[in-house]
Chains A and B, each alone.
Chain A
Amino acid sequence: MTGPFSLARFSPLRKSAHWPDRSFRWMALLAVAAIIGLIGLVGWQLYSGSRLAVEKFGFSFLTSTKWDPVSDEFGALPFIFGTLVSSLIALIIAVPLGIATALFLTEMAPQKMRQPAIMVIEMLAAVPSVIFGLWGIFVLIPWLRDHLFQWLRDTLGFLPFFQGPIYGVSMLAGGIIVAIMILPIVTAISREILRSVPKLQREAAYALGATHWEVIRIAVLGYAQRGLFGAAVLGLGRALGETMAVTMVIGNRPEIKASLFAPGYTLASVIANEFTEATSDVYLNSLFELGLVLFALTILVNAAAQLMLRRLAGSGPGKVAG
C-alpha cells in the first residue's frame, strides 16, 4: 500500500489542521478497532469456555470420531467432516446456479422481467431458516427420497457417493437445503459484480466480431471472475454456519460415510442441539470447543480463499467483491 492511499494519510496520529478531520479519523479507527476487538473477544471467550475440554482431550479432540455424552468422551471429526461436505455440496449447486441467474438477469432478461425476478430471489433470503427446515422435512425430503435419490442410485450408483440405503434425510439433503439458502446472496453479489463490468468491455468484444456467448464468456465472465469468486466465498461463509434448516434434514448422526445418502452432522447443528441440556462441565466445554473449531474453520476457509484470489489476480483483471 503506497501512494495516495497509504495508511499514514488516514492515521489519526497524523497532524491535521481541521479538527473535524481529526475527530472523524479517530471515530473511524474506533469502529475498526471495535470490530477487531469483538472478533478477538469472541475467540478468547470460546477458548476460555472450552479450556477443560482442551486440557482433557488436547489435539485428539480434532481427530477423534467419538461423541459420547454419557462417558464424557468427545471428538469433533465427524462434525468437521459434515460441515465441510455439506457446505461443499451447497457451493457446487448454488454457485453455478447463482452465477447463471445473475448472468441471465444482467445480460439476457428483458428489462421488464428483471425487477420482479430480483424481488423473488431476494424474498428467498427473507424466509426464516426453520421454515426451510419444515419445508425440507415435509416436502423436499419425500420428493428426494422417492425420485432424485432413486434416480441417482440407479444411474451413478457405481460411485461410492451414491450407494447404500436411502432414508431421505442425508448429507445430500442438508447440502441441497443450504444451497437454496445461500442462493440469494450468491445471486445478488454476482449480479452486482456483473453489472459493474464496463459497457466498453462488451462493446469492444462485439466490435471484434464476438457472438453473444463469446462476449459473455470472454468480456464479462473473464473480467468479473475475481468478483464472482468472492461471491462464492461469501456464500461459503454463510453455508458453514447455517444451523436450523440443516439440522432438520441432515439426520444428525456423527459418522463419516462416503455415501451422500447417509446421515451426517454439522458443527453448528450439534451446538444448537445439545447446548441447552448439557449439564456436565466437560460436555459444555466440548460444545464450546466445537464453536472454537467452527470459528477457526471459517477463518481458515476465508484465508485460503484470499490466497486463491491473489493467485487469480495474476491471470486476469477484475474486481474483488465485498
Chain B
Amino acid sequence: MKKILALAAWAALTASVCSAQMLINGAGASFPQPLYTKWFSAYAQVDRSVRFNYQGIGSGGGQKQILAETVDFGASDGPMSDENLAKAPRPLWHIPTVAGAVVICYNLPGQPKLKLEGGTIARIFLGKITKWNDAAITAQNPGMELPDREILVVHRSDGSGTSYIFTDYLSAVDQEWAEKVGKNTAVKWPVGLGGKGNAGVTGQIQQSPGAIGYVELAYAKQNHLPYAAVKNAAGHYVEPSIASVTAALASATVHDDFRFSMVNAPGAEAYPIAGATWLLVYGQQKNPAKGQKLVEFLQWAFTKGETMAAALDYAPLPADLQARVLKQVQAIKY
C-alpha cells in the first residue's frame, strides 16, 4: 500500500513539474522542420524547464501566425515581403538558421552526369528548349550522347520554399523568366506537369523517361537520384553539396535585416540554386520569461545546434555570418 501511495505521489509530482514547464510555440516552414525538431529534442536535455513546440504548417501560415502573435516565433522559407512586414505591430526580425540547395534531377538513359547553365535551365522551363539533344544542352556536355527525346518538365504543384528558391534563381539568371513568370512559392508555370511534394516530383521523374524537375538536395541524396552540376556566377560547374551551399552563403550579400537572396552567389565554389530559411522573432518580446528562454535557445542553436545541420543535409551558416546572427539574437529585448 505504501508503495502505491509513494508511486502516486511521485506521479503527481512529475505531473506538476511537467505542467510547470514553460511551453514556447512556433509554426511555419516545413522544409527545416526535421532540423528544428532535432534541435528542440536535443535542447530539452540542456534546459529542462522549457519545452518547444513547432508545427510545420508552411511559410504562409508561419508569417500569418507570428503577425497575429498567436505563436512565440514564426518560420519562413522566403523572406517576408515589405507589405507583410509592415503589418507587424513591432519590429519583426529575420533570423537565418540554415540553407538548403535545390537540385536539377532528370531521367535519361544511363543516368549521365549532366552539366547545365542557368539560361539553359530557364529556357527548358519556359518551354523554349523541347528536346534533350538541343544544341544548347549538348554544347555544355561535350562527348555525351543525348537522346532525340522530348523534355518533360515537372514542377511542384504545392506552394513550397523549394519552388521559391528555384524561381528566384531563374529570375536572377534569365531576363525573360523574370518578366514572364517571376518568383514565388507558386507561379504560373509556362509548361510542364505539377507533382505534389518532393515525392510527387521524383515519382513523376522516375516514371517518365525524358523528364526533368527540381527537388531538395536532401531528398535527391536519400533517394539516389542523379542531379546536374550547375554553372555558377564565377563560371564554374558546381555540384550541389553542403560545402558548396555554405560557400554560396559565405559569398552572398547579406543585408543587416538578414532578408537576403543567395541565388547565383559570386563565390568560385558556390552552388547557385540555394536559399536560406528564417525564424521570425520580435525584437521586443512581450513575455519577459519566454523571451529570455527563447534567446537562450537561439544562442545555443547558433553555437551547438549548427553542428547538427550537416548530418540532416542542411548547410550551416559560415562562421562570420553565424557571429553576425548571434549578435542580432543577443540584441533581442525582453
Contact = CB atoms under 8 A, between A and B. Distances in A.
Interface of A: 66-71, 133-134, 137-138, 141-142, 145, 165, 167-169, 247-248, 251-253, 263, 265, 269, 272-280, 284
A69 to B, nearest CB: 5
A26 to B, nearest CB: 37
Contacts of B59: 276-277, 279
A303 B48 CA distance: 58
Determine the interface band of chain B, counting residues with CB < 8 A from chain A.
Answer: 35 or more
B185 A252 contact: no
Contact of B193 (A145, A169, A274): A169
Contacts of B204: 137, 169
Contact of A276 (B58, B150, B188): B58
Given A67-B188, A278-B159, A280-B83, A252 B195 contact: yes
A287 to B, nearest CB: 10
B186 A274 contact: yes
A279 B81 contact: yes
Given A70-B181, A70-B183, A253 B159 contact: no
A247 B204 CA distance: 13
B188 A68 contact: yes
B200 interface: yes
Contacts, number: 106
B17 to A, nearest CB: 35
A247 B196 contact: yes
A69 B187 contact: yes
18 contacts: A66-B188, A137-B207, A165-B150, A168-B208, A247-B196, A272-B158, A274-B158, A274-B159, A274-B185, A277-B77, A277-B161, A277-B186, A279-B59, A279-B63, A279-B78, A279-B185, A280-B81, A280-B83
A69 B157 contact: no
Given A142-B207, A278-B60, A167 B193 contact: yes
B124 to A, nearest CB: 16
A182 to B, nearest CB: 20
Interface of B: 30, 57-61, 63, 77-78, 80-81, 83-84, 150, 152, 157-161, 164, 181-189, 192-196, 199-200, 203-204, 207-208
A253 B58 contact: no
A248 B194 CA distance: 9
Contacts of A137: 200, 203-204, 207
Given A70-B184, A276-B57, A167 B208 contact: yes
A252 B161 contact: no
Contact of A248 (B63, B152, B188, B200): B200
B193 A273 contact: no
A145 B204 CA distance: 12
Contacts of A165: 150
Contacts of B60: 275-279, 284
10 smallest CB-CB distances across A and B, nearest first, come from A276-B58, A252-B194, A277-B159, A252-B157, A70-B182, A277-B185, A273-B158, A68-B188, A137-B203, A274-B159
